[in-house]
Structure 1
Amino acid sequence: MIRISVCMATYNGELFLKNQLSSILCQLGGNDEIIVSDDGSVDDTISIINSFSDSRIKVFFNKNRHGPVGNFENALEHSSGEYIFLADQDDIWLSEKVDTIYELLLDYDLVLTDCEVTDHLYNTLTPSFFTYRRSHNGFWANIYRNSYMGCCMAFRRDVLRYALPFPKRIHMHDWWIGLLVEAKGRVVFYNKPLIKYVRHGSNASPTGGIGFGFKEQLANRFWLLLNLAQRLLV
């Protein structure tokens, strides 16, 4: 049985992918897996993955909608592990991440950890995202100011029963998953950074950078709440 599935969405990730995969693989056991969903990369992303020659890495090409939401959905659909870790292609996992989160998942349905925000050279910009964001758990608190970043999340497989499929009109998958577990399960915020969250100017998410306009923020929350109500009332 697969113990841990690391689900990673890739798209033209050649600059940082090798370091990220190296930081993950050394923490996994022989019965773990990395599920990579690639969204049509035209750089050396696939060549870099293949260069590891590691049977724990399994690559699937995204045939869902393009972009992070559909790409992560494809990865999750191909996962088989008891515990699911989400991973971006351009971060660095600190050495104690897997062991720490695994122990927490014995008691909780979802774990969200703090992270250290860095630039593309891994120089620290913000030592604690939680402090910067004033993060804490709570459904309405995270509707107002979302702290659920996928790269810092892991959850039990049971979560997929009610999180998938992703609605067509949600802004981001991680926000959706986090709020669903807030409503239906047990969440813990772990206050120690367990990754270097790399900001390099080409990230798929603006988290920690320039945000969205007011109208777009309202629209995102409207569709999020509507879809949450529909899913939770089933």
Structure 2
Amino acid sequence: MTQLETVSVCIAAYNGERFIAQQIRSILDGLHPSDEVVVVDDRSTDRTVDIVAAVDDPRIRLIRQGENRGYVRTFEAAIAAAACDIVFLSDQDDEWTPGRRTLLVDALRESAIVAGDVVLMPDDSPLSSPLTGRTWRLAPLRGGGSLRNEIRLLMGDAPYYGCAMAFRRDATALVLPFPDFLVESHDLWIATVGNSARVLGHVQAPVLRRRLHDTNASSPRPRGVRQALRSRWMLLRAWREAVRRVRALR
């Protein structure tokens, strides 16, 4: 395969003034000089744009959206604007672990889409499964995907977080455009399409320190029954669309 050299980090920003400067610093500290950070601001009403614009680093590219479109479409816009060999996804309020770039880039030499494990700030404790309460980490995945892995994903028992994912430019045709019906869980869409194409890889090491706070886009609290069923139906539709897209691209 072609040599992987440069990384685009894609951030969807919205009212992130509390933590975005710290997050960007943790990202820049782990990047190479030829990499870039693409920040798409979703019409923030706080100082997010000013804070990002004030970071004195030529690797940052700030894009201001003319209207508020929500985090899914904002991530889609950031990915579409990425110019490098590899796309990393990043939230605005976490911290990267040291060595993240190397771990994910090395994994992408074998798989077109990869996901790593997440730990929680401040003590790097592991996630807990919302179904079993046990430690929640990515399981070994052979062959780039499986029906068993898709079932776990549909059940909500697969810890895929966009902020811990990356993919090669040659996987962009699988990932984009996001389905029109996708109003949440862009990370599960990326995992689904990667699993369906059998190009998904797991990095069984922490690549992100997640910060839980009162304005996280994805809540750690359990969902109501109606909301959970609506989400599962959306993921079933995503699986069907992923299968269709994989077949069309072969």
Residue aligning to 2:239:
228
Distance 1:111 1:230 in 2: 20
Q: CA deviation at 1:163?
A: 1.7
Matched, 1:173 2:172: no
Which residue of structure 2 aligns with residue 153 of structure 1? 165
Q: How many residues align structurally?
A: 228
CA deviation vs aligned residue, 1:67-89 (integer Å, no higher than 9, x gap): 11011011011111111100000
Residue identity opposite 2:155 in structure 1? Y
The 2-side partners of 1:186 and 1:231 are apart by 12
Q: Which residue of 2 aligns with 1:126?
A: 125
2:144 paired residue number: none
Q: Which residue of 2 aligns with 1:144?
A: 155
Pairs within 5 Å for 1:64-143: 66-118=69-121, 123-124=122-123, 126-128=125-127, 132-133=135-136, 135-136=138-139, 137=141, 138-143=149-154
Query: Shift of residue 134 of structure 1?
Result: 5.3
Q: Show structure 1 runs of 5+ residues with no match.
A: none
Structure 1 residue matching 2:135: 3-state secondary structure: helix
Name which of structure 1's ranges 223-232 and 149-158 shifts more when overlaid on structure 2.
223-232
Aligned to 2:230: 219
Q: Give the drift of 1:48.
A: 1.3
Note the C-alpha offset of 1:102.
1.0
| CA pair 85-64 structure 1, distance change in 2 beyond 3 A | farther
Q: CA deviation at 1:199?
A: 0.3
- The correspondence of residues 168-207 of structure 1 with structure 2, limited to 5 A, is 168-170=180-182, 171-206=184-219
SS at match of 2:11: strand
- Of 59-68 and 98-107, more deviation after overlay is shown by 59-68
Q: Is the 8 A contact 2:53 2:62 kept in 1?
A: no
The aligned counterpart of 2:29 is 26
The percent identity for this pair of structures is: 31
C-alpha contact 1:9 1:71 (8 A) present in aligned 2: yes
Q: Deviations over 1:86-112 (max 9, x none)?
A: 000000111111111111111111221
Letter in 2 for 1:217: A
Shift of 1:64: 7.2
2:43–2:68 Cα contact (<8 Å) kept: no
Is residue 2:166 matched to residue 1:163? no
Equivalent residue number for residue 145 of structure 2: none
Equivalent pair of 2:40/2:78 in contact (CA under 8 Å): yes
Q: C-alpha root-mean-square deviation of aligned residues, in Å?
A: 2.1
Paired residues of 2:103 and 2:203 also in contact (CA < 8 A): no
* Partner-residue secondary structure (3-state), 1:37: strand
Deviations 1:109-167 (A, max 9, x none): 1221111112xxxx227335686335435222111124211011111112220221111
Q: Which runs of 4+ in 1 moved over 6 A?
A: none
For residues 33 and 129 of structure 1, the distance between their equivalents in structure 2, rounded to whole angstroms, comes to 33
